[in-house]
Amino acid sequence: MTVLLHPVTSNLSRDRLTADYSLITCNDVPDALWHFQFAISKSARRQPGASAAPQFDVMTPLAEVVHDDPFYVLEIAGQVSRYEIEAADFLDAWIEAHADDSPITVVSRQSFIIPGGRTGDLVVTGNLNGTEWAGRVVCLKYGPRLLLLNFRCALADYNRLADDFFVSLMSFHMLDESPGIMAEPIRWITGTTPVPWRVGLPKSCEIVEQPGDSFFSEFHGNVMAPAETGLISVGKLTATLVAADHVRDARDAMEMVLEAIRDVGVDKPEFREEPSPYIESWSLVAPTHLPTGNGELRVRLLHHPNAWICAVIIGPARNDNLSAWMRNKRLLDVLAMTPQIG
């Protein structure tokens, strides 16, 4: 079986790029927030663009590029996200939703982390009316703007066309970056014990601060979502900052966390070390049970020179409430990237 390429670098020389590709600007939509540029093969052609800007929760076509020989199509669509989520999680959900019409197989996945979260990047295959096809689908996030770049061609042609799409992908950029990196405004929570600190969270998380003492601070939050009866909580957050000299080491910190979550009913939880700008960083993900169904518990444990930070969030499992799961998962990422500790 042929291995499908998933390039993350290009061997094309600058002269080749200049000779074979040209930069195009897509500004058909009146709203300048949705204007962008990217490079395409000079033998490809751009189709007429969209006339309406994307809205909340609906993926709207923005641009299409077609190449005739060999045939491929590159479609670019956009959607406004109501909440702060990761593009990678959104793409997985998009693939699953569209696989109902025609099965899509994920062959390989890449992901790179930018301040706005992990990008989604999949090589996929499928069969449409007896014709085998392959493609690469990428989801990028610019503040509240989700951009989907969907490249497809015949399976037999994919490897020789993979560079064409990679050039388009690497050159893609929005012309207006004013919305920033987050889909929601950031709510800052501050404290003075055990040292001066502040952390940021998406604004849709409602915060209740708890009184602390000389060696710890704690606050609680609810991730809110609309329902028929009004706003309801779809995620419960507890975050604690403890003075560094009150924790012996990472194992001691983990034992404190496990004791605090013992009543949640997590079976054999295991921490996993992960790269971070802190002295050390650990995470834990485990299934649990909620009164409403299956749940998931997530923990981030961060070691700063002056404090240990522990954040725990409990919410619905992915299969029970996909939107809440994406928001809860991303909330811990935002909390972990924003601390300012004295």
Say yes or no: 196 and 162 in one domain: no
Concatenate the DSSP letters of all residues of 119-140 into one string. Answer: PEEEEEEEEETTEEEEEEEEEE
Question: Mean per-residue pLDDT for 152-163?
Answer: 96
Instruction: For 144, list phi and psi in degrees, rounded to 5.
Output: -85, 0
Residue 223 has pLDDT above 70, yes or no: yes
Task: Quote the CA–CA distance of 4 and 132 in Å, as a whole number.
Answer: 13
Computed over every residue of the chain, the mean pLDDT equals 93
What's the alpha-carbon Rg for the chain, to the nearest Å? Answer: 23
Residue 115 has pLDDT above 90, yes or no: no
**Among 33, 78, 70, 332, CA closest to 205:** 332
What pLDDT does 130 receive?
A: 85
Say yes or no: 100 and 197 in one domain: no
Please give the residue that has the higher pLDDT: either 241 or 342: 241
Residue 77 has pLDDT above 90, yes or no: yes
Provide the pairing of β-strand 104-110 with 71-80.
unpaired
Say yes or no: 170 and 191 in one domain: no
Concatenate the DSSP letters of all residues of 28-79 into one string. Answer: -SSSGGG-EEEEEETT-EEPP--SS--BBTB-EEEEEEEEETTEEEEEEEEE
Say yes or no: 25 and 117 in one domain: yes
Q: What is the CATH number of the domain that holds 51?
A: 3.40.1000.10
**Percentage with pLDDT > 90 across the chain:** 80
Tens of pLDDT, residue by residue over 202-222, are: 999 999 877 677 788 999 999
Per-residue exposure over 138-168, b if at least 16 CB sit within 10 Å of its own CB, e if not:
bbbbbbbbbbbbbbbbebebbeebbbbbbbb
Domain-embedded: residue 3: no
Domain-embedded: residue 8: no
Domain-embedded: residue 73: yes
What pLDDT does 168 receive?
A: 97
Domain-embedded: residue 124: yes
Tens of pLDDT, residue by residue over 79-91, are: 999 999 999 999 9
Say yes or no: 200 and 99 in one domain: no
Tens of pLDDT, residue by residue over 298-307, are: 999 999 999 9
CA atoms within 13 A on the CB side of 330: 30
Task: Describe the strand order of the beta sheet including 230-243 as a list of residue ranges.
Answer: 205-213, 216-227, 230-243, 307-316, 293-304, 280-290, 272-273
- What residue spans of the chain are helical by DSSP H? 14-20, 87-98, 158-171, 250-260, 322-337
Say yes or no: 331 and 190 in one domain: yes
Say yes or no: 82 and 210 in one domain: no
What pLDDT does 1 receive?
A: 64
Domain interval for residue 251: 186-341
Tens of pLDDT, residue by residue over 35-53, are: 999 999 999 999 988 889 9
Residue 100 has pLDDT above 90, yes or no: no
**Percentage with pLDDT > 70 across the chain:** 99
Domain count, the chain: 2
Domain finish residue from 174, 208, 224: 174
What pLDDT does 2 receive?
A: 81
Say yes or no: 52 and 123 in one domain: yes
What pLDDT does 285 receive?
A: 96
What pLDDT does 15 receive?
A: 93
Task: Quote the CA–CA distance of 153 and 70 in Å, as a whole number.
Answer: 8
Task: Quote the CA–CA distance of 164 and 102 in Å, as a whole number.
Answer: 25
Say yes or no: 191 and 239 in one domain: yes
Question: Mean per-residue pLDDT for 170-194?
Answer: 94
